[in-house]
Amino acid sequence: MTQDILRQILDYSNRADPYPLYKELRRTPVYHDGSGPFVVSTYYEIQALLHDPRISSDARNLASAADDPLAEPGEEEETVLPPSFLKLDPPEHDRLRRMTNRPFGPPHSPHRVHDMRGDLHDIVKGLIDKIAENGNAERIDLVEEFSYPFPVTVICRLLGVPPEDEARFHVWADTLAASLDPDPDADPKERERRTHDSRMELGMYLSGLIEERRKNPTGDMLSELVTGNSPDGTMTTMEVLSTAALLLIAGHETTVNLITNGMLTLLRHPEVLDRLRSEPELSVNLVEELLRYEPPVQLVPQRSTLADIEVAGVSIPKGASLWLVLAAGNRDPLRFEDPDRFDPDREDIQHLGLGSGIHSCFGAPLARQEAQLALSELARRLENPRLLADPPPYRQNAVLRGPRHLPIAVDGIRP
Amino acid sequence: MTADGSLERLKREGRIVVVGASLAGLRAAETMREKGFTGSLTMIGDEPYEPYDRPPLSKQVLLGRAGPEGTALPRRRDIGAEWRLGVPATGLDMAARRVRLGDGNEVEYDRLLIATGVRARPWPQADEAALDGVFVLRTRDDAAALEQKLAAGPRRVLVIGAGFTGSEIASACRERGLPVTVAERGAAPLVGALGGVIGEVAAEMHREHGVDLRTGIMVTGLEGDATGRVRAAHLSDGTTLEADVVVVSLGAMRNTEWLAGSGLGAGPRGIACDAGCRAFDIRGIVTDDIYVAGDVARSPHALFGYQFLSLEHWGNAVAQAETAAHNMLSESTDRRPHLWVPAFWSSQFGVNIKSVGVPSMGTEIMITQGSRGERRFTGVYGYQGRVIGAVTFDQSRWLQFYERLIEETAPFPPPFTTVDRRPEGNRPMPADFPDPSVPTHGPTITLSGYSPADRRMTFTPAHH
Ligand SMILES: Cc1cc2nc3c(=O)[nH]c(=O)nc-3n(C[C@H](O)[C@H](O)[C@H](O)COP(=O)(O)OP(=O)(O)OC[C@H]3O[C@@H](n4cnc5c(N)ncnc54)[C@H](O)[C@@H]3O)c2cc1C
């Protein structure tokens, strides 16, 4: 029976509400159907595995990738670039992540994210103003018009993509994002070609930018990545490329879903939306609860075991593939009281939404700030927003789960 | 609820006295209020300040980055206490349930919590210790005075003792660009706490940062000038070192003298208590109304053979205080044991050092992740075929895993491989702790129980 649960989770028809299935799944904390991955769904087990040095993120340690039901041909960024630190183990992981962190966060750049606040605010304001100008209050797609463009624009600013190139960047980002979101109607060949072309174009564009920044550094993240001299040395051009691509894809995809899932949840809890309007500071705790309740990354599928290990009484052999279902762990009643309740005042929210351990979300401080700002501004400016479809249409992807469109209507948009 | 309702009465209108108004005292008081204690609460502290945090004293404060007055401990809640600050407790009458104060007053209690901590071990020659420019570092006042001296740009600082505090002081001096000499009796810094294998890494760290590190050496005397200012130190190798600031960092002594003659089981090793933080009297009988927590306590721990552990660890003070407070207000069946796995951190020369378990009990060590050469690694300590402790240098994100191994009494050497295993980590090696009969600055964890293997004690029953 459990065998079906896994298939059902991947099945698109359950995308809108996978939580009952996760509940079923948690009854077998380590689920294995004999051939596929070992699926871990309970909080404490996932948390321990994320800190377990016998677990690898490097696909080369998988005994066989063949039986991974999520493996998709042509999906891997590695076909063009070396693996980003997301898919590496220490010491390479630590070295690349450290070097990437130098221009991004403490101790070397403690203010980078905080200093973007003004910028973020301008971007959010600009996007909402544009929705107001377009003037169709009857039908707004919040994904297309807001939660998609926002993080791409932010990542452009962060990396240092010149404003005049942002439009091209958006197109590439969209195509690449769409590639993670198989559309059953689209011609797969055609899609693969478009994805490949976008990847190439983006790669070439970035290498051009990198060359330029090497000559004329301007203080943005790309400049610092190419010129930065840390105790670890300097990144090679290829390393900068794969890091930049990682920041673009990972930073972008997740934030779109965080904001969209957030708005969806708020629209389903109008009393919280009302509160947020008058108490924008509520957004801090609210976003943490969202990361628990509707995490944008539902599961981490690329882990493998370096040794035979035992988890919750189950022996997992060396070289096995592990899936850590973060979203199931986040609603584990052994860890959270009344876990299916969305409670913006919840105090004890040590969620798994951003992972944990050495691979915990690199962009977390930025993602949090983006989501806090986006949600409180939407709450403040949208007049009487309501959902036009519940559930809204979801994207195909089971890992990066979120609505493809979020159609809403409003009575107006406040200045 | 007790049959006679006495516990409810205690919670409602009892009198609780806390001696030692620092980390453990404050956290205990907060926990008591959280548990619904509405009676009277008296906080007695010999320092004139409300509770403040000590770890920053040897770090941010010495660097001039935080003022000593900026280290006040954040409050979890209002505790509505009567504060008696700047007054030491000087005695205890267990039968009458009274604490005597230095100002002649007495305070009565129904429950007493003792959290008097430790103090810095002073330089043994009192006249030399009194020289201007000679410091210890334990209190806010110590830190303020030392920081002022460092800011004035002394020509050379001498740190005596290279334990955690001494090493942090040396690190701060170097960060301020001050010439500093460290004299350590043992073979390397941190050797008492982490052993010689890790001590060697620490020694390299000192030297690379320009510390004049002298190991295997004792300071035999300090010398002042005509105005009473320290000017030089004499070393056991016959040399003399000029220094105008000397920081004595020789470990700590338990603040238990005020309990002498009270009948409580308190002595130079601390106050013995059971796993539930209830103090023992000198007859080895557990008291019902006196609890202890923090650096001054020594309690038996199941994971370490029920030997008595004394810990000088921030996290232990908090956890033990919470347990003590809980137990003070609970029926015997609701009491909890304090089974905290020891955990400690330090930060020096830009490196974050953390340890869990009791490394100093270990006889072997294995570098399971990273490399000592890069100063980013995890070392696991083994004792009689099991994992007993672990240390990380700039790798603390893995520590939780090793803590679990300690809790599970997992086998040593660990039979599995890990990410980032280097050739140096393929085999355990002797951890190289100094012979305990040779004094060093000492570990921050002291095993102070009598192990069954220890046959040196003699038993002399008292006669009536
Ligand atoms: C410089 C420094 C750096 C440190 N760094 C770290 C670190 O990085 N990591 C870590 O884990 N730990 C560190 N520690 C240790 C940590 O600070 C202690 O473990 C913690 O303070 C213990 O708290 P406590 O309340 O038990 O004792 P204490 O903080 O020692 O408090 C005891 C209090 O009781 C008072 N007192 C004593 N006798 C009497 C009396 N008779 N009457 C009234 N009051 C009395 C004392 O004056 C003191 O205020 C550091 C300590 C120091 C000094």
List pLDDT tens digits, range B217-235.
Answer: 999 999 999 999 999 999 9
Q: Which residues pair with B325 in a beta bridge?
A: none
- Are A306 and B370 inside 8 Å of each other by CB? no
Could you give the ipTM of this predicted complex? 0.87
Question: pLDDT tens digit string along B132-169?
Answer: 999 999 999 999 999 999 999 999 999 999 999 999 99
- Name the burial class of residue B95, with classes exposed (0-12), middle (13-18) and buried (19+) by CB atoms within 10 angstroms of its CB: exposed
Question: pLDDT tens digit string along B88-121?
Answer: 999 999 999 999 999 999 999 999 999 999 999 9
Whole-number Å distance between alpha carbons of B369 and B46: 45
A304 interface with B at CB cutoff 8 Å: no
- CA-nearest residue to A360 within chain B is B397
Most A CBs within 10 Å, among B205, B368, B419, to test the A interface: B419
What mean pLDDT is predicted for residues A266-294? 97
Residue B277 is given by DSSP the state: S
Q: Strand B106-108's sheet: what is its strand order?
A: B89-93, B98-101, B106-108
Question: Concatenated DSSP letters for A166-221?
Answer: HHHHHHHHHHHHHHTS--TTS-HHHHHHHHHHHHHHHHHHHHHHHHHHHHS--SSH
Amino acid B1: pLDDT: 47
A123 confidence band (pLDDT: 50, 70, 90):
very high
**What is the rounded average pLDDT for all residues in chain B?**
94
The residues on B that touch A, with CB distances below 8 Å, are: 368-370, 374, 376, 378, 397-398, 400-401, 404, 416-420
Amino acid A1: pLDDT: 47
Q: Which residue has the tokens 């970035």?
A: A206
B130 confidence band (pLDDT: 50, 70, 90):
very high
pLDDT at A121 over 60: yes
Nearest CA to ligand 1 atom 49: B22
For the record, the structure tokens of A325 come out as: 């279902």
Give Cα B134 to chain centroid, integer Å. Answer: 22
Least confident of A39-43, B1-5, B195-199, B218-222: B1-5
- Are B420 and A53 inside 8 Å of each other by CB? yes
Q: Shortest CB distance from B417 goes to which of A51, A94, A306?
A: A306
CA distance A48 to chain B (A): 7
Q: Give buried/exposed letters for B48-63 (b at 16+ CB in 10 A, else e).
A: ebebbbbbbbbbbbbb
- Are A357 and B369 inside 8 Å of each other by CB? no
For the record, the structure tokens of A187 come out as: 């011609």
A68 confidence band (pLDDT: 50, 70, 90):
low
CA distance A322 to chain B (A): 16
What is this structure's pTM?
A: 0.91
Q: Shortest CB distance from A307 goes to which of B397, B417, B420?
A: B417
pLDDT at B451 over 80: no
- CA-nearest residue to A52 within chain B is B401
For ligand 1, whether the C-beta of B23 sits within 6 Å is yes
Whole-number Å distance between alpha carbons of A50 and B397: 10
A20 confidence band (pLDDT: 50, 70, 90):
very high
For the record, the structure tokens of A355 come out as: 């992972």
* Beta strands per DSSP E along B225-329: 230-235, 240-242, 245-248, 252-254, 266-267, 270-272, 278-280, 286-292, 297-300, 308-311
**What is the rounded average pLDDT for all residues in chain A?**
90
